[in-house]
Amino acid sequence: SGSIIQTVIGTPEPNTNQSSVDITSQSATAPTFFNSACNITLTPTFSNSKIFITFTASIRLDPDAEGYVGIYYSSTSDFSSDVHILDPKRGASRNEAFRNNDGSGDAHIFWCISQSTWDKTVTNTNTRYYSVGGYKSNNDNIYYGDQGVGLTMMAQEIKA
């Protein structure tokens, strides 16, 4: 119990001059995903395992931006259906999990974030897919990248 069974690391983003990804989605169930090359595919060894997932990325919020950025799970590799946020929420929604309440309307916030969460929904040994993405809850922009740290992601199966 508590032993690491396997570790899967998403393909790290190479050092490039790529532009940022604008989070255009306004839907928690159809988010804008950051970098599919970094997605993780994991097939649990045990049907009662817990999966620990962590990622690091750079996020920029325009003035007055609000939304969510985090880890998503799907049972389909292309995330076309069965898409779920793994992070628990506190309060009525996650719509302001990332928020820039500048007030003056001219300050951007730039974060290098590192987040982790548990997937406690494993009930079988079917392959599971994880990605990092987000949605905005108003019309102000949230970006991934923008001259910051590239996405890294790791998942570990922990024996229950």
DSSP 8-class letter at 131: E
Per the CB < 8 A criterion, the answer to whether 23 and 34 are in contact is no
Q: What pLDDT, on the 0 to 100 scale, is given for residue 136? A: 94
pLDDT at 102 over 70: no
Higher local confidence (pLDDT), 150 or 13: 150
Q: What pLDDT, on the 0 to 100 scale, is given for residue 110? A: 77
Q: What pLDDT, on the 0 to 100 scale, is given for residue 103? A: 64
What value does the mean pLDDT take over residues 127-145?
91
Which sign, positive or negative, has the C-alpha torsion 21, 25, 77, 57?
positive
pLDDT at 105 over 80: no
Q: Report the first-to-last Cα separation within the chain, whole angstroms.
A: 5
Residue 14 has a CB neighbour count (10 Å cut-off) of 8
Inter-CA distances, 117 with 22, 26, 78, 134, 147, Å: 24, 22, 21, 15, 26
Inter-CA distances, 101 with 61, 97, 104, Å: 10, 12, 9
Q: Kindly report, residue by residue over 140-149, the tens digit of the pLDDT.
A: 888 887 777 7
Q: Kindly report, residue by residue over 48-84, the tens digit of the pLDDT.
A: 999 999 999 988 888 888 999 999 999 999 998 899 9
